Amino acid sequence: MDQSSASEATVNPKDVAMKVKLDYSRGVKDHTTKALEALCELCWELEQPNVDTETFARHTAEMISKLFAIESVAVGVRDPGDRRYRYIAVVGLDKEVADGFKTLAYTREELLEPSTYPCYDVSSHTKLFLSEDHPYAEGEEFTYRRPGLIGMRRRTLTDSLEADYLDFFFNGRDGDVLGFIEVSGTRLRKLPDATTIRWIELAAGILSTAVQRSA
C-alpha cells in the first residue's frame, strides 16, 4: 500500500463501538475504576422509584466496607419526627452489637458535643475521632469490635487503633446535619488515606440525596 492509500484508509464505525464497549466492560480495572463502578451502581439504584432508605443505606455501607477494606460501617440518620439521630444500617459487626447500635439515639447537641466526642476537622463534612481522646460516651464501648484493645499505643502517624473512627456528615435542605456515615477500623490497621476519605465523602453525598427524597 502506497502512502496515499494508507492516508485514505478508514475503520468501520462498528469496530469503534465494539472497542469502546469492550474497554468499558473488560478493560483493566484498577482501584479507581472499581470505586467509580460501585458509586455508579449506587446512583443507578437511586434512579429507581420508591427507593427504601434503610436498604439504600445498607448497600452504601456494604460498598464502603468492601471497596475500602473498612472493618465496620454504620449509617445514622435524623428521624423527622423527634429529630433525633439513629443508626439505620450497621455492617461489619456481630448482630448483637449491631442491634445495640440501633438502640442509640442522639439529639443534635449530643451528637456534636465536643466534650463527649472530641474530634478533629478533616474537611467541612468529615471529622476524625482518635482513641487517645476517648471519643465515646460511657457505656458505648460495646460499639467497637475489640473493646479490650482500647488504650493501645499508637506507633506511627498512620496507625489505626481500636476506637479510632471517622464521621462523614451530610446535610439536609435546611443546611443542618441530616445524617452521617461512620467508619471504624481497616483491615491493614492503617487510617484511611486522603483518597479514600474523598470517595466516602462522595458516597455520603449520594446517600444524602436518597435520604432527602424519602423525607
Residue 105 in grid coordinates = 439515639
What pLDDT is attached to residue 58?
97
Is 16 within a domain? no
Q: What is the CA radius of gyration of the chain?
A: 22
| Mean pLDDT along residues 53-58 | 97
Is 84 within a domain? yes
Is 10 within a domain? no
Is 18 within a domain? no
Structural domains of the chain, count:
1
pLDDT tens, residue by residue, 194-206: 999 999 999 999 9
Domain at 194, CATH number: 3.30.450.40
- 71, 77, 76, 75: which is closest to 93 by C-alpha? 71
What pLDDT is attached to residue 13?
87
Residues 6+ apart with CB under 8 A from 190: 158, 159, 160
The burial of 64, by beta-carbon neighbours within 10 Å (0-12 exposed, 13-18 middle, 19 or more buried), is given as: buried
Residue type, 101: F
pTM of the model: 0.88
Is 8 within a domain? no
With cell 466526642, the residue in question is 117
pLDDT tens, residue by residue, 67-104: 999 999 999 999 999 999 999 999 999 898 899 998 99
